[in-house]
Amino acid sequence: MRILVLGVDHSILPPGCSITSDPGGDFEAVVASAAHIDTLSEDVPVFVLKSGGMADWAVKQKRPDVTLVSIDELQAELKKLVPNEVPPQISDLKKSLAIASYANKGGIGKTSSAINLALSLAARGVNTVIVDMDFGAPDVAGFFDVNPRRGLESLEETGVDNLLIKVRNNLWIVPGMTGPYQREMEASVLTRVVQELKNRFQTVVIDTPPAPWEKANLHNVFAMCDQVYAIVDQSKFSTQETAKYTVTLLAMGVDPSRIRIVLNRFNPKLMGIRQVEKAFAAGFKDKRNMPKVAVCIPEQWEDHVKDAYKGKSTSVEYWHKEADFLARQLVTESKETKEVKSRWRLPSFLKRKS
């Protein structure tokens, strides 16, 4: 549930609430201090924190409809409004897909791709969660205008259920690291969270940092993924750079048949689709099951500037076909997790880091 918070420390809100400070935006309840009484909405439940003094009396005079609460009462009241925001554990979930974004550097469109795919899946009724594993620069929560109290750094302390924030129908996020201290997360903690989320959600979309290959703790997460979207910025295409995608992913345990290519900032006048696919297959003798271009997204500069971080997305339409493709996989019979076949041989410079 989305809550407008005014003049109150965000940390008093129960985990799982989506917080906004924009009175012009959408929200389903308000939590405020007495100082904001004159500006409070009348269309949704309003909770004002008790001060224990004359200010409480003044609040009741001006707005008899608001509920004056202590911090403990607030938590209980908000829980009543949101009986169960976390989808139930579905042990017999027929199939669940883990999907990650991948690129060899930042600013390529990994986060935009992860968000647009997730929005498109959620719009189809597929229960979806985005986990922000860009440890250095998490920005998924920011896109949805959510100001999380805590994120991945509290995983072991609170459990993933307490980190889930609902941002749309059928769409939740697990915010990335918050706070000033960047702790290195253990590989096993990250794989466990993906597994736990797979028990609850039909699709788990993982947003990743630039060059995940350099982050040893992410290797096993990639190995678990059913699908990896390798994002290439077509406007800056380089054969040499692109040729590293398949090998680095393979080194982390991603079979090339699980890679799908996204051409971002696509322009038909630039390097052709075949040449990009050729770069992905460079160095592989067996060209069967090599990655193919699945999504082309044109440059949308003005729209992006206008809508950036307002929870709107201008390129979601390019993901609809892909979301249909994934939704079809969800209803087909569950296949055994694909193992990396021994016929793939790693180039010697890519020894797997432990």
The smaller minimum CB distance to ligand ADP, of residues 102 and 280, is found at 102
Cα Dmax for the chain: 80
- Spatial neighbors of 259 by CB under 8 A, at least 6 apart, are 102, 228, 230, 245, 246, 249, 280, 291
* Residues of span 130-169 touching Mg ion by CB under 5 A: 134
The smaller minimum CB distance to ligand ADP, of residues 301 and 349, is found at 301
| Options 27-35, 82-90, 106-114, 336-344: segment touching ligand ADP (CB under 6 A) | 106-114
To the nearest whole angstrom, how small is the minimum distance from the Cβ of residue 315 to ligand ADP? 6
To the nearest whole angstrom, how small is the minimum distance from the Cβ of residue 120 to ligand ADP? 15
| Options 42-50, 71-79, 248-256, 300-308: segment touching ligand ADP (CB under 6 A) | 300-308
104 binds Mg ion (CB under 5 A): no
Amino acid making up residue 175: P
Residues comprising the chain, all counted:
354
Structure tokens at 193: 């969270």
234 binds ligand ADP (CB under 6 A): no
List strands edge to edge, sheet with 46-49: 18-20, 2-6, 29-32, 46-49, 67-69
To the nearest whole angstrom, how small is the minimum distance from the Cβ of residue 276 to ligand ADP? 15
Instruction: Work out which of 167, 171, 297, 326 binds ligand ADP, going by CB under 6 A.
Output: 297
- Measured CA angle at 153 (ends 253, 25), to 5 deg: 105
**Residue 107 interacts with, from Mg ion, ligand ADP, none (CB under 5-8 Å by kind):** ligand ADP
179 binds ligand ADP (CB under 6 A): no
**Residue 189 interacts with, from Mg ion, ligand ADP, none (CB under 5-8 Å by kind):** none
The smaller minimum CB distance to Mg ion, of residues 209 and 291, is found at 209
Instruction: Work out which of 30, 108, 140, 247 binds ligand ADP, going by CB under 6 A.
Output: 108
Q: For ligand ADP, how many residues bind (rule: CB under 6 A)?
A: 17
Q: Within its chain, how far is the Cα of 92 from the centroid?
A: 24
Instruction: Work out which of 96, 111, 202, 217 binds ligand ADP, going by CB under 6 A.
Output: 111
Instruction: Return d(Cα 332, Cα 95) in angstroms, integer.
Output: 8
The smaller minimum CB distance to Mg ion, of residues 112 and 120, is found at 112
244 binds ligand ADP (CB under 6 A): no
| Options 46-54, 187-195, 280-288, 292-300: segment touching ligand ADP (CB under 6 A) | 292-300
Structure tokens at 6: 């005014």
Residues making contact with Mg ion (CB under 5 A): 110-111, 134
Residues making contact with ligand ADP (CB under 6 A): 103, 106-112, 264-265, 297, 299-301, 304, 308, 315
